[in-house]
Structure 1
Amino acid sequence: MKNYPLAVQIWLVFAGITLGVAILLALLFPWTLRSFFTREVFATIETAQDTLLDYIRPPLEENRLFRRELERNNIRTVNHVFFRENGRPIVGRMLPRSFVEMVGEDIRTQLPDVQRYIRSVDDDTIFYVIRREQASGRTVYLVSYVWETYLNDLVRTLVRRLFLILGIVLVASLLPCIWLARYLTRPLVQMEKRVKRIADRDWHEPFVTDRSDEIGRLARSIERMRERLVRQDEAQQAFLQDVSHELKTPVMVIRSYAQSILDGIYPRGDLQGSVQVIDSEAERLEKRIRGLLYMTKLDYLETRRPEHRPFRLDELACDVWERLRWRRTDVRWEESLEPVTVTGDREQWGVLLENLLDNQTRYARERIFLSLRQEAGKAVLRIGNDGPPIPEEEALFKQFVKGEKGEFGLGLAIVQRIARLHRAHLRAANTDDGVCFTVEIPLHPE
């Protein structure tokens, strides 16, 4: 059914529900309404008796008007017969002998003035009421009866009319279903066109809707997707421009030095010095490419479920501290590490510590410090130096934003990505005696 148009699907669902209800009613109506119709049949019989008795009065055998009225009432659904006290009929239509004997027995045993009966006569069911009356100083009995065929006719008539109504509703529902389908699909068609445009990278026009239902939520999700794609596209374009700019310089230096050497010219005075420049630029190029690849890896990991394990952050920090402290033997290195176990990627935290400490070695004058504490359910890592103040924090962690002594503008951007992957909070601030980077790490991340 999913391959049909939405209007047909809605109509088929509505038709199926309608037919199901109709079948259920057809099965349950005769059973559930039989007692109701039985009460109604007896009420009809008693009402017919009251009407007949109010209109005519005995003497029964001599009143021609009475006989005509009795015959006229017998033509209707309810039939009437008068019986003597001995159980023999006075006036009325001919009745089966078995029924007459049955009524005679009921008359002889009946105590109240009015009583209802349900009997079987010749494999058929009959509903009748016996009413005791006084006429010309003697007791007579008015027997009014209805055969079960009347009750069955009522049920069949009701079911037929019910099916007729449901059929009319079913046919008439086609147009509302078409209108409903168009009403529901109109925004879906608009979203389909917009998604096709987004697939073709035409995503600069916002998608606005004033709906609050499921379709409205879907539209807002598409709009959030569009906004994210626009940001990613802008970031990608800026990234490609920055990469091109960053890689262009070392490539141009390497190429120009290589061409000069091929021409027999040594820009550094001799072959060894010129080749050393080429090697130095190649090493810088390699570092930049390695940093870009690591940034790409972190971008990939942001879209995947991380596989984090607990490890001792203080031991990792001590290891990185010991390896990097020999880069600047002219400054004072201070460390204070408490035993702290965190959950995360040990390799990534090693890169974070290396990049932060490497940044301190380039700007420190006389002092570099590292501390690790456990505070309020968090591990707080602080790394700083006594160098010059930093610029605004927002630009500090952007890609390719280099400080005065920066190399590639990737180190702190990688630090921020790693902190974000571990739901840690990273900030940098100027202090009275320098700069401090603070990383707050949740000990029990969700």
Structure 2
Amino acid sequence: MRKLPLGIKIWLVFASLLLALSIFLVLILPSTLRSFFANQIYLTIEDSQNSILNGGLEGPFQKPNERDKEQQDSRTVRHIILDHKGKPTGPRNSFSQQFWERVQEQALSQKSETERYGMSIDDSSIQYVISKADAGPKSSYLFSYVWETFQQELVTELYRKLLYLILVVLLFSWLPSLWMVRYVSRPLGQMARQVKRIAERDWHDPVATSSRGDEIGQLADSIESMRQKLVLQDQAQQSFLQHISHELKTPIMVIRSYTNAIQEGIFPKGDVNGSILVIDQEAERLEHRVQNLLYLTKLDYLRAYAGPEQVTFDLADVIEETVERLRWKRPELSWHRELPSFVIEGYEEQWMIAMENLIDNQIRYAQSEVRVVLHEDEQGTMLRISNDGPSISEDMSAQLFQPFQKGKDGKFGLGLMIVKRTADLHRVVIGVENGPSGEGIAFTFRFN
């Protein structure tokens, strides 16, 4: 059934539900109808008896030439008076002696004033009521009956019409199922084609979303959101590749030009040592760029496929160690450190590299002081690393963590991107803001 078209599946569901309901009605309805009509017939007999009993029992209730039960009007209530011994006082119709003996036994043995009875005679059934009545010196009985022929005919007719109705409903159930197929499968088919185009990297046309607020509309909105993110990611990737090409091209071009010049006996820096020093510096720059690019790739891999490398370590120790190694780049700077023990679980090596990039950035722009504060507040733990250097503009702060975004004295434009990727990998919220006096820049890490 999994390989069937959606329309056939929906029709099968409709048909199965209708068939189950039909089988239930076929099994339950006949007995329910019989019980209902039988009760109504008894009520009709009792109402007719009450009319007779209230008017007295004088007068004949049966004519001698009454028709046989096969020719009687089955809707008519007929009455026969029974004497105090339970024997009929008038004509007995075509009822057998055995039937009257049974009626006599029931009349004499009943304890209540009125009792309901039923009996099958040959291929027919009869419903009757026996009521006690006072007529003369001795108590008598009123025997009232109706043949069930009308009831059976009515139940049979209703049953037949119900079967016809069920058959018609089953035949025409394809109409609502066809509407349901168009309502459900049409937008799904459109989205399937659009997703296939997106899979082929043809994601520049927007996904047609509808105003419907059901799950199909939500799915369309999710696909459109995915498409927009893929477009942005593709644009970022193209921009990233262009920046990489530009950043790698410059040192390679310098190395090749200096190498060719030395081979021709020309020394651009005056002598061979000076020229080789430039080549070595450019090679070092190239090495740093390649290392950062490889490290960013590693962070992306860890974020997508987090492995079992996470360990428990004290972040304060990592920061202290990093500060001690880098502070000698500018020994004139003063350091304010508040680093209580803070144990986290994650990738210790990644945090050490992130802190190296961030603290190196702080040292580069600080004028006289760098502050590193780790403290608790109502929202959790906050790490704040700041300096008293120049402030940052709003436009620059929005792009600060993008690849190859460099400040005035920046080097490669990848350090803060590595910091951001590390924070995202550990689900830590990172932010950047200017200092309270309008000077300096502060990076914050919020650990929840």
TM-score (norm 2): 0.83
Please give the residue correspondences for 1:313-324 in structure 2 after superposition, counting only pairs within 5 Å: 313-324=315-326
Q: What is the CA distance between 1:181 and its match in structure 2?
A: 1.0
How far apart, in 1, do the equivalents of 2:82 and 2:340 lie? 116
RMSD between aligned residues: 3.7
Equivalents in 2 of 1:416, 1:410: separation in Å?
Answer: 10
User: Which residue is equivalent to 1:412?
Assistant: 416
The verdict on how the C-alpha distance between 1:50 and 1:253 changes in structure 2, with shifts beyond 3 A counting, is same
Shift of 1:182: 0.9
1:196 is aligned to 196
CA distance in 2, matches of 1:248, 1:361: 28
Indicate if the aligned counterparts of 2:126 and 2:145 stay in contact, CA closer than 8 A. no
Alignment of 1:123-162 (within 5 A): 126-130=126-130, 141-146=142-147, 155-162=155-162
Contact 1:426 1:438 in 2 (8 A): yes
Amino acid at match of 1:82: I
Moved more, 86-95 or 408-417: 86-95
Q: CA deviation at 1:350?
A: 1.0
Q: Which amino acid aligns with 1:29?
A: L
Q: How does 1:40-439 map to 2 (within 5 A)?
A: 40-46=40-46, 58-59=59-60, 67=65, 74-76=72-74, 80=78, 82=80, 85=83, 87-88=87-88, 90-91=90-91, 93-108=93-108, 114-119=114-119, 126-130=126-130, 141-146=142-147, 155-207=155-207, 208-304=209-305, 309-376=311-378, 378-391=380-393, 392-421=396-425, 422-430=427-435, 432=437, 434-439=439-444
For residues 195-247 of structure 1, the C-alpha deviation after alignment (integer angstroms, 9 at most, x for no partner) is 23322333233333211111111111111111111111111111111111111
| Alpha-carbon distance in structure 2 between the residues aligned to 1:267 and 1:320 | 39
- Equivalent residue pairs, number: 438
How big is each residue's C-alpha offset from its partner over 1:354-393, in whole Å with a ceiling of 9 and x where there is no partner?
0112113323344444333334453333333343333442
Percent identity, aligned pairs only?
41
How far apart, CA to CA, are the structure 2 residues paired with 1:342 and 1:195? 41
Look up the equivalent residue of 1:427 and give its one-letter code: V
Name whichever of 366-375 and 181-190 sits farther off: 366-375
Report if aligned partners of 1:84, 1:141 keep a CA contact under 8 Å in 2.
yes
1:29 aligns with 2:29: yes
Q: For 1:129, what is the secondary structure of its paired residue?
A: strand
Rounded Cα–Cα distance in structure 1 between residues aligned with 2:99 and 2:202: 90
Q: Could you tell me whether the CA contact under 8 Å between 1:260 and 1:266 is conserved in 2?
A: yes
Q: Residue 129 of structure 2: SS of its match in structure 1?
A: strand
Whether the 8 Å contact between 1:15 and 1:170 is mirrored in structure 2 is: yes
Instruction: Summarize the Cα distance change of 1:100–1:89 in structure 2 as closer, same or farther, 3 Å threshold.
Output: farther
- Aligned partners of 1:338 and 1:373 also within 8 Å: yes
CA–CA distance in structure 1, aligned partners of residues 143 and 341 of structure 2: 107
Cα distance change, pair 105–386 in 1 and its aligned pair in 2 (3 A):
closer
Deviation track 1:93-136 (CA, whole Å, cap 9, x = no partner) reads 31222102112333455677754223466798643223578999
Amino acid at match of 1:344: G
- Match of 1:91, SS state, is coil
CA gap 1:117/1:331 in 2 versus in 1, 3 angstroms: closer
Q: Partner letter of residue 419 of structure 1?
A: A
Q: Quick check: 1:356–1:412 contact (8 Å CA) kept in 2?
A: yes
What is the DSSP-based 3-state SS (H/G/I as helix, E as strand, rest coil) of the residue aligned with 1:221? helix
The letter for the 1-side match of 2:429 is: A
Distance 2:346 2:381 in 1: 12
- 1:176 maps to a residue whose letter is P
Listed one character per residue, the Cα deviations across residues 384-403 of structure 1 (whole Å, up to 9, x for unaligned) are 33433334422332211111
- The farther-off stretch of 260-269 and 183-192 is 260-269
Q: Quickly say closer, same or farther: Cα 1:88–1:338, change in 2 above 3 A.
A: closer
| SS of corresponding position for 2:440 | strand
Equivalent position SS for 2:90: strand
Q: Which of 435, 441, 444 is residue 446 of structure 2 equivalent to?
A: 441
Q: Distance in 2 between matches of 1:76 and 1:315?
A: 103
For structure 1, the residue ranges without an aligned partner over 5 or more in a row are none
Give me the whole-angstrom Cα distance separating, in 2, the residues matched to 1:119 and 1:386. 109
How has the CA–CA distance of structure 1 residues 377 and 215 changed in structure 2, closer, same or farther, with 3 Å as cutoff? Answer: closer
Tell me, in whole angstroms, the C-alpha distance in 1 between the residues paired with 2:340 and 2:4. 67
The alpha carbon displacement at 1:44 in A equals 4.6
Distance 1:68 1:286, change over 3 A: same
Q: Rate the CA distance shift 1:357–1:102 in 2: closer, same or farther, 3 A.
A: same
Give the secondary structure class of the aligned counterpart of 1:335. Answer: strand
